[in-house]
Structure 1
Amino acid sequence: MSSIVPFTSETPFDKVLADIREKGWSITDDFFSDEMVEALMSDISDLDNSYMKQAGVGRSLDHQVALERRRDYIRWIDPVNPARSAFLNAMGELRLEFNRRLFLGLWDYEAHFARYEEGAFYEKHLDAFKGKSNRVLSTVLYLNENWEEGDGGEFVLFDENDEHKELGRFHPKKGRLAVFLSEEFPHEVLKAKRTRHSIAGWFRVNNNIQNNLDPGQ
């Protein structure tokens, strides 16, 4: 078990759960401890691109690399070191709180590191389509030191009822956590002007009656 202390307080979940209940999305700074964020920043900074892969669009048989739509590199996260174990355990605790207090029936959580090099972006998209995915809640944790106004790479969230209406543009600053309903909110990543790191993840439900997660999801 990791010795990294994950949270900044004994009850870190209240704001995120209240936001999701009231509006379906949440932007929270300093959700995790500085210790854990620093460990994750060090982890992804040490990853060479040769150990990551070019991200694609679509899922399962429809998955393809489309550089005109997104240009980040990713590496899926397994609990192979203390930082990754601490993060996955913390998100597991958050999953249990969502189920206990919002009755979401979340089954598991998956996540990957994401690297946007200078010039990289991800066009507007949804993380899930209604009735066609088991993703319920999307999360993004930002791992960037001293991100400034002119550095680009903003996370833009759009209204679920009007995909042309922006709910906000958020800098990918160190320790900021975004959580939102996967099927409801279009979003994009604007072009980064320096290397940008994050962890993208999804809380999922189990749509398989055999107690196994949907294949290819």
Structure 2
Amino acid sequence: MITADPALTVADFATESIAIDQLASQGYVIVPNFLAREQCLELYHYARQLDAQAWQQAGIGRADSYTTNSAVRQDKIRWLQPELPYESAYLKMMDQLRLELNRELFMGLFDYECHLAHYPPGAFYRKHLDAFKGRSNRILTTVFYLNPDWQEQDGGQLVIYGEQGEVLETILPEAGKLVVFLSDVFVHEVLAGLRDRFSITGWYRLNASIGGVIDPTR
């Protein structure tokens, strides 16, 4: 399982890769080797061996507006659960990163939610924003890739767009790579690939609780 001391620690994220500075200056950052290859492979094999019943068809919207639409999104997801060892280890590691981000950037990030995502061959996710200003407490999006030996011809790239619709980044979903970006700023999409594609997508959130209910439906 994932160890408590990954090859690239939270301190490395903040200093050696100067990822914090890049995130602060441009609103997104790409960290090529956030975890060691061996740890990525363990997560990859864990995701692959999950039963079909462990996954659900991904949807769009929230609460009463939640719906599935295969013309927009075709991946399957599994929300991580803290009582399961592999999933707990990842959640704990990302919570360490939350503390580091708060310490360095004073972002006030309150918690973190995330899910495994499986894109079968040909599956895609059309252009979208993860949050809308004033309508969500999702602040930072994280995408961590698990796919070993992924090649350009395999497709499945994450495309991040700028304010004028220009392409800022086209990112290959290679094992060990972490992408972090502001949830309400960057439109992005997932292109169709030729292989099964696995990632862990998550969101750091502010505390928007009302009456003890975190992020209530509005």
Deviations 1:33-52 (A, max 9, x none): 33432221121011133220
1:80 deviation in Å? 3.1
Gaps spanning 5+ residues in structure 1: where?
none
Letter in 2 for 1:149: E
Q: Which residue of 2 aligns with 1:90?
A: 93
Q: Which residue of 1 aligns with 2:135?
A: 132
| Match runs of 1:62-77 below 5 Å | 62-77=65-80
Name the Cα RMSD after superposition: 1.9
Q: Is the 8 A contact 2:148 2:174 kept in 1?
A: yes
1:31 deviation in Å? 1.1
1:83 deviation in Å? 2.2
Q: Is the 8 A contact 1:6 1:87 kept in 2?
A: no
Aligned-residue identity in percent: 43
Q: Cα distance 1:60–1:209, how it changes in 2: closer, same or farther (>3 A)?
A: closer
Q: Partner of 1:12: helix, strand, or coil?
A: helix
Q: Cα distance 1:211–1:41, how it changes in 2: closer, same or farther (>3 A)?
A: same
TM-score (norm 1): 0.93
Q: Cα distance 1:142–1:216, how it changes in 2: closer, same or farther (>3 A)?
A: farther
Deviations 1:83-129 (A, max 9, x none): 22221111101101111111111110000000000110000000000
| Match runs of 1:167-178 below 5 Å | 167-178=168-179
Which one is further off, 75-84 or 111-120? Answer: 75-84
TM-score (norm 2): 0.92
Q: Cα distance 1:2–1:44, how it changes in 2: closer, same or farther (>3 A)?
A: closer
Q: Could you tell me how far apart the structure 2 residues matched to 1:149 and 1:35 are?
A: 22
Q: Could you tell me how far apart the structure 2 residues matched to 1:179 and 1:135 are?
A: 12
Equivalent position to 2:30, from 27, 32, 47: 27
Deviations 1:135-182 (A, max 9, x none): 0000000010111111110000001x21x2000101000111000000
Q: Which residue of 1 aligns with 2:206?
A: 205
Q: Which residue of 1 aligns with 2:51?
A: 48
Q: Is the 8 A contact 2:10 2:97 kept in 1?
A: no
Gaps spanning 5+ residues in structure 2: where?
none
